[in-house]
Amino acid sequence: MELTGIDVHHLSNELAALKGAKIQKVYQTEEYELILDLYSKVFPYRYLYIKMPNLIFAKNDKPEMPEKPLGFAHRMRPHLNNAFIHNDYQKGMDRIIVFMIEKKQKYYLIVELFGKGNIILCNENMKIINILLSESFSSRILKPGKIYDFPPSRNVSFESYESFKNIVDAEKDKHAVSTIASLGLGGKYSDMIMKRVLEKDYNKITWGEIDESKIKRIHELILAYSNAKMFREDNNDIFAETNDFEKGFLSFFACMDSMMNIEAESTKEKNVEKSKSNKKEKAISMQNKRKEELSQSSEDNTIKGQKIYENFDSVERAINFAKTYKEKNKTLKGLEKEWLDSLPKLKKYEEKGNKIILDLD
């Protein structure tokens, strides 16, 4: 699943419920993530997962923690443990969420949900204190000690049709679907909108080929998805839905929670099936091995039977000699010393089972 600017917009709106929440502790179970253990009277989840490259979700189940804290969480704890979330906001329509946090001093926890993703902690002057991934770009350098700069942005606002029309007018020769995708809607929303308005060949049409009534309709749909109150799952992704959508979830987090539970159940079922399959394969393997052993045993017994049949008289004399020796001495000890050269070769004897083993070769 890849979050679009509209998805981040809805996430940011729902994260507003964290205002005043206490960060009890921060954890990390994987290299590229941060987990906030929260106490909030309003936010309905205990743990907020920030997972790179592009995912934020919440759960109530406590994650399985490593014995030793991983490096990034360990470095973040002095600043974030027992801190309070003052507010959060989305940077324009970019896939960036900024948490304003207070603990003796002010911090900004910046989550970038594009590219490789990143988590950056800055002081109140936007100086980077800690960062998940240090990186250098032509327009900015991200590493401790540097001032954090937001990436270049178009600073789009969809509320005004005039500002949207200005973008359209400036890109008359460009494909309309590409423009919408670049404004933070990504491929999934731009395709949905253009299919509803233009239907055929929607991905080939430029803005110059679309009349203004349809441009207004496109803007209305963008607003509808931006202001959506319903969300649905589809093919391991989440979609905000327009107001005419009847069934779905009333929050982005609830929809994501359901999707992840379904995925977890699916994984569990696959693991159960895999376990059954492994057990079945093991049973078949053991059966085949036993068949081979029995076949070999049968073959060996056939050979032994043939040997005994061919040497029946000498085998019988050997058995009788052993019996007589046992009756006379009350034991088989010393049998090998009195064994006759005319008898089949004695390999060994077993006192406990009254057995003698002969070599008939």
Q: Reply yes or no on whether the pLDDT at 25 is more than 50.
A: yes
Output b/e per residue, 57-79; b: 16+ Cβ within 10 A.
Answer: bbbeeeeeeeeebbebbebbeeb
Query: What's the whole-number mean pLDDT along residues 141-159?
Result: 89
pLDDT, mean over the chain:
87
- Report whether 185 contacts 225 (CB < 8 A): yes
Residue bearing tokens 């233009």: 198
- Report whether 179 contacts 171 (CB < 8 A): yes
| Dihedral sign of CA atoms 92, 93, 96, 101 in order | positive
- Report whether 221 contacts 193 (CB < 8 A): yes
Of residues 188 and 291, more confidence is placed in: 188
DSSP 243-280: TT--SSBSSHHHHHHHHHHHHHHHHHHHHHHHHHHHHH
What does the radius of gyration of the chain's CA atoms come to, in whole angstroms?
38
Q: What is the pLDDT of residues 321-351, one digit of tens each?
A: 888 888 888 888 888 888 888 888 888 888 8
In the chain, the percentage of residues whose pLDDT exceeds 70 is: 89
What's the CA gap between 223 and 77, in Å, rounded? 39
Local confidence band at 275 (pLDDT 50, 70, 90 cut-offs): low
Quote the tokens at residue 253. Answer: 């987090």
- Report whether 333 contacts 351 (CB < 8 A): yes
Burial of 276: CB neighbours in 10 Å, binned 0-12, 13-18, 19+:
exposed
Q: What is the CATH number of domain 5-142?
A: 2.30.310.10
With H, G, I as helix, E, B as strand and everything else as coil, classify residue 152: coil
In the chain, the percentage of residues whose pLDDT exceeds 90 is: 53
What's the CA gap between 8 and 18, in Å, rounded? 15
Strand ranges inside the chain, DSSP E? 22-27, 33-39, 47-51, 55-59, 83-90, 96-103, 105-112, 118-123, 128-131, 135-136, 141-142, 230-233, 238-241, 345-350, 355-359
DSSP 99-133: EEEEESEEEEEEEE-STT-EEEEEETT-BEEEESS
End-to-end distance of the chain based on CA atoms, in angstroms? 73
Q: Reply yes or no on whether the pLDDT at 267 is more than 50.
A: no
Q: Count H helices and E strands in the chain, helices first.
A: 9, 15
| Dihedral sign of CA atoms 333, 336, 340, 343 in order | positive
Highest mean pLDDT among 199-213, 237-251, 253-267: 199-213
Q: What is the pLDDT of residues 28-82, one digit of tens each?
A: 999 999 999 999 999 999 999 999 999 999 999 888 887 777 899 999 999 999 9
pTM of the full predicted structure? 0.71
With H, G, I as helix, E, B as strand and everything else as coil, classify residue 175: strand
